[in-house]
Amino acid sequence: MSAIRLRIQPPEGPVSERDCATGLLTFGRGSDSDVVISDHAMSRHHARVVEEGHGWFVEDLGARNGTYVNGTRVDGRQAVRAGDVILMGGTRVYLRDPADTSERLAGLDLSSSIFRRVTDMHGEDLDPAGGTPGRVAARLKALNDFHRAIAGPIALDALLALLLERLFAALHPEEGVILLRQKDGSLATVASRRLPGASGELLVSRRLISEVVDKGTAALVSDLAMDDRFSGSDSIIGAGIRSILAAPISDSEGCVGMVAVYSRAHVRRFGEDDMELLVSLAAAAALRIRNVALAEQAAERRVQDHELALAHDIQMAMLPRQFPDRREIEMGAALIPARAVGGDLYDFLLVDRMLWFIVADAAGKGVSAALFMAVTRTLFRAVAQDALSAGSVIERMNNELARDNERQFFVTAVVGRLDLVSGDLTYANAGHPAPLHVTNASDTASLDENVLAALDGAGSGVALGIIEGAPYTEVRTILGRGDVLLLFTDGVTEAINGRHELYSDARLAASFTAAATLSVGKIVEAVIGGVNQFAGGQPQEDDITVLALRYLGASA
Amino acid sequence: MNIEQTDQEGVLVIAPSGRIDTTTSGAVEEVLKRTVDVGARRLIIDFSGVDYISSAGLRVFLVLAKRMRDLHGRLILCGMPEPVAQVFRLAGFMALFQVEASREAAVARMGAAA
């Protein structure tokens, strides 16, 4: 025969303890019960605990809400033992062995659990009173080993697995779990470990998380596996009381998560020395977790940078490096994106004696602009192939881009067509800076006699992609032998210097005119050199594109 | 970038200031979107405090204009300093907006239409 102690926890009111000396205790709301509890969910005569032979039993007395042992409803009568929990209505009765002196915990419920501020615990030696000297030495070694193991380079997953492994070796829990704060601020389980054959699932209550993570306290808790998920499951009958140990994972910058271990109380019940070891291991892990997380973020960024570098190469490969090998013309161009990828574009297409060319600037910067730029280039090539005029090319491009353009992306562009034989130039402008035209630059001795003019924007229409069916005016001029055209994007004229001044149309015109007798390659270099010199190291705000075209006349 | 909002005779006047470029246009777009989401249908954008607007900034007002058209709302732009007006003009967007010289003129025009 074994004695048993009952710890009675009603839904409200104080917790009480009773030894069952008489071998029979009745429970109920009725005043004639041995243990009278004011619990509305209880029946007047709810249940009784009886000793019979060498064991104890609980008998349901036909209670309306039933009687449960460890979450399973009692059908008439069921054997119970120390460690079990009986639920009657809203009242819990915990069965304990009064002879069990190893139990250093006074309470078994959350309200009487131990919470300790971690900051009060750091720097303390592991208390030798917490165990035999051999046990203490083993734990110091565990801590020391862990410190050493995580000193070198280690991935976050490996670090978390190692922490769990050491916790299992030192504390012998049935289950362990690590939660870390995610980018969105929530806590998520990032690692867990369970003994083979251990049942159940560590339920980390919100209350526990709040105590541990928000308040920075370590917790030593006994809780009930009374979760709905457990009821009716034979495999966890006897799960009864769970012993939980939890510590925050925090460093000087704050709490990044929590580590918790769990065991059924009759298998293993954690003590305060276990709590100290857990806190020490968690603290050792904390600093490394932050460092490793930062390193992994950096690695992620490197992958992104690599992707962007690839995108840059792909985009640059869309731009022609080789210009038409024709005696009638010289062409040169450069495009310098402000970021890895950009929205500027230049391109040309030679169809028989017609040279089609485009300089364009998609709104915005970065990946969205680059995608729009790629679409624009494809459209230009498709449409110009069999087009009759620059105006029709730009109108068709606009209609394609404007269709279903909810986000109102747009691209400004100048499209031109030069008849290499006659020098006949037609062009259309969709909201783009007007190209510059230097007349007869190579045939005259003096630069002063060159005439600079903008290919007038009077015929300029709305940028492409905004108004389906928008009309564009085609403008026509004849290029003379030695004339030079300069097409550019507003990244040139709107480049900014240290005094927040714009490079401006005037400075561009001066720089272009001064270089107009040079080869087209040198003209492009000179214009970009002029912008860079002006900016004087100020960060480049926008993509810069320059395309120079010299007409040398029909081949003799 | 600062975005001031004033209710003026039943018309919401939104006055951004500083540069509206790739970096800041997202914030402006968000404010405008929310304003229309909560029911503003008579909007005036006062550009008098804007130093610079980029193509990314232009796009924000194109999106707003399109949405206001779809909702049968009214949108008037006003107070454009010359550099800002030039960017609208160059891209060919001036014709897409009702534009007034000053906030007073914009409010008056909005009132006349009501």
Q: What is the pLDDT of residues A411-424, one digit of tens each?
A: 999 999 999 999 99
Q: What is the pLDDT of residues A107-135, one digit of tens each?
A: 334 444 666 666 666 544 444 444 566 77
Closest-CA distance, A523 to chain B, in angstroms, reads: 25
Residues of B in contact with A462 (CB under 8 A): 91-93, 95-96
Kindly give, in sequence order, each residue whose CB lies less than 8 Å from that of residue A75, ignoring residues fewer than 6 positions away: A60
CA distance A201 to A198: 9
Return the minimum-mean-pLDDT range out of A258-267, A293-302, A309-318, A436-445: A436-445
Exposure pattern of A261-270 as b/e (b: 16+ CB <10 Å)? bbbbbbbbbb
CA distance B22 to B29: 11
Q: Any chain B CB within 8 A of the CB of A207? A: no
A407 and B63: CB-CB below 8 Å? yes
CB A178 within 8 A of CB A208: no
CB B50 within 8 A of CB B18: yes
Tell me the pLDDT band of A102, cut-offs 50, 70 and 90: very low
A412 and B55: CB-CB below 8 Å? yes
Residue B24 CB neighbours (<10 A): 21
Average pLDDT, chain A: 83
CB A305 within 8 A of CB A168: no
Give the chain A residue nearest B21 (alpha carbons).
A364
Exposure pattern of A78-101 as b/e (b: 16+ CB <10 Å)? bebebbbbbbbbebbbbbbbeeee
Q: Name the nearest CA neighbour of A430 among A394, A404, A400.
A: A394
Tell me the pLDDT band of A555, cut-offs 50, 70 and 90: low
Residues of B in contact with A461 (CB under 8 A): 92
Kindly give, in sequence order, each residue whose CB lies less than 8 Å from that of residue A25, ignoring residues fewer than 6 positions away: A6, A18, A34, A35, A48, A49
Residue A527's pLDDT is 96
Distances (CA, A) of A465 to A362, A372, A378: 10, 10, 15
Q: End-to-end alpha-carbon separation of chain B, Å?
A: 31
Q: What is the pLDDT of residues A494-525, one digit of tens each?
A: 999 999 899 999 999 999 999 988 999 999 99
Tell me the pLDDT band of A147, cut-offs 50, 70 and 90: confident
Residue with the bigger pLDDT between A207 and A168: it is: A168
Which residue of B56, B66, B96 is in closest CB contact with A363? B56
Q: Name the nearest CA neighbour of A375 among A395, A401, A357, A350.
A: A401
Give the H or E element holding residue A475: strand A474-478
CA distance A120 to A217: 9
Residues of A in contact with B58 (CB under 8 A): 363, 410
Closest-CA distance, B9 to chain A, in angstroms, reads: 31
Q: Any chain A CB within 8 A of the CB of B92? A: yes
Residues of A in contact with B91 (CB under 8 A): 410, 412, 431, 462-463
Q: Any chain B CB within 8 A of the CB of A407? A: yes
3-state secondary structure A268-307: CCCCHHHHHHHHHHHHHHHHHHHHHHHHHHHHHHHHHHHH
- Average pLDDT estimate for B68-83: 95
Residue A458's pLDDT is 54
Residue with the bigger pLDDT between A96 and A86: it is: A86
| B2-108: CATH architecture | 2-Layer Sandwich (3.30)
A276 has pLDDT over 50:
yes
Exposure pattern of A166-181 as b/e (b: 16+ CB <10 Å)? bbbebbebbbbbbbbb
| Token pair for B7 | 């209710």
- Average pLDDT estimate for A448-476: 78
CA distance A46 to A40: 11
Closest-CA distance, B29 to chain A, in angstroms, reads: 11
The CA-CA-CA angle for residues B61, B62, B68, to 5°, reads: 85
Instruction: Estimate the crossing angle of helix B22-37 against helix B55-70, to 10 degrees.
Output: 10
Residue A12's pLDDT is 72
Residue with the bigger pLDDT between A141 and B28: it is: B28
CA distance A349 to A415: 11
Residue A454 forms beta bridges with which residues?
Answer: A436
CA distance A462 to A395: 11
A466 and B21: CB-CB below 8 Å? no
Ranked by mean pLDDT, the top range of A266-270, A286-290, A363-367, A428-432 is A428-432
Q: How many CA atoms lie within 13 A of A98 on its CB side?
A: 11
**Biggest CA pair distance of chain B:** 37
Residue A500's pLDDT is 87
Percent of chain A with pLDDT over 90: 38
DSSP notation for B40-98 = --EEEEE-TEEEEE-HHHHHHHHHHHHHHHHTT-EEEEE---HHHHHHHHHTT-GGGSE
Residue A204's pLDDT is 62
CB A244 within 8 A of CB A277: no
Residue A317's pLDDT is 92
DSSP notation for A39-69 = -TTS-SS-EEEEEETTEEEEEE-S-TT-EEE
3-state secondary structure A477-529: EECCCCCEEEEECHHHHCCECCCCCECHHHHHHHHHHHHCCCCHHHHHHHHHH
Residue with the bigger pLDDT between A122 and A358: it is: A358
Q: β-strand A451-454 against A436-439: which pairing, if any?
A: antiparallel
CA distance B70 to A555: 56
Residues of B in contact with A370 (CB under 8 A): none
Tell me the pLDDT band of B45, cut-offs 50, 70 and 90: very high
Q: Any chain B CB within 8 A of the CB of A467? A: yes
Extents of the domains making up chain B: 2-108
CA torsion through residues A34, A37, A43, A48, sign: negative
Tell me the pLDDT band of A202, cut-offs 50, 70 and 90: low
Residue A216 CB neighbours (<10 A): 15
Residue A226's pLDDT is 39
CA distance A547 to A479: 16
B92 and A364: CB-CB below 8 Å? no
Residues 364-403 (A) with a CB less than 8 A from some CB of B: 364-366
- Average pLDDT estimate for A442-446: 44
B62 and A457: CB-CB below 8 Å? no
Closest-CA distance, A462 to chain B, in angstroms, reads: 4
Strand-by-strand arrangement of the A35-36 sheet: A35-36, A24-28, A47-52, A55-60, A77-80
Percent of chain A with pLDDT over 70: 83
- Average pLDDT estimate for A36-47: 88
Q: Any chain B CB within 8 A of the CB of A61? A: no
Which residue of B55, B90, B91 is in closest CB contact with A364? B55
**ipTM metric:** 0.91
| Token pair for A452 | 């600079």
Closest-CA distance, A414 to chain B, in angstroms, reads: 12
- Average pLDDT estimate for A513-538: 94
Name the pTM for this structure.
0.64
A462 and B59: CB-CB below 8 Å? no
Q: What is the pLDDT of residues A227-255, one digit of tens each?
A: 333 333 333 334 456 788 899 998 777 88
The residue type found at A525 is E
Chain A / chain B CB contacts < 8 angstroms: 58
B59 and A410: CB-CB below 8 Å? yes
Tell me the pLDDT band of A456, cut-offs 50, 70 and 90: low
Residue with the bigger pLDDT between A349 and A264: it is: A349
Residue reference for tokens 């809400």: A65
Q: What is the pLDDT of residues B93-106, one digit of tens each?
A: 998 999 999 999 99
A543 has pLDDT over 70:
yes
Residue A21's pLDDT is 75
Residue A430's pLDDT is 94
Residue A234's pLDDT is 34
Residue A124's pLDDT is 45
Which residue in B20, B53, B59 has the most chain A C-beta atoms within 10 A of its own C-beta, making it the best mutation to test that interface?
B59
Tell me the pLDDT band of B57, cut-offs 50, 70 and 90: very high
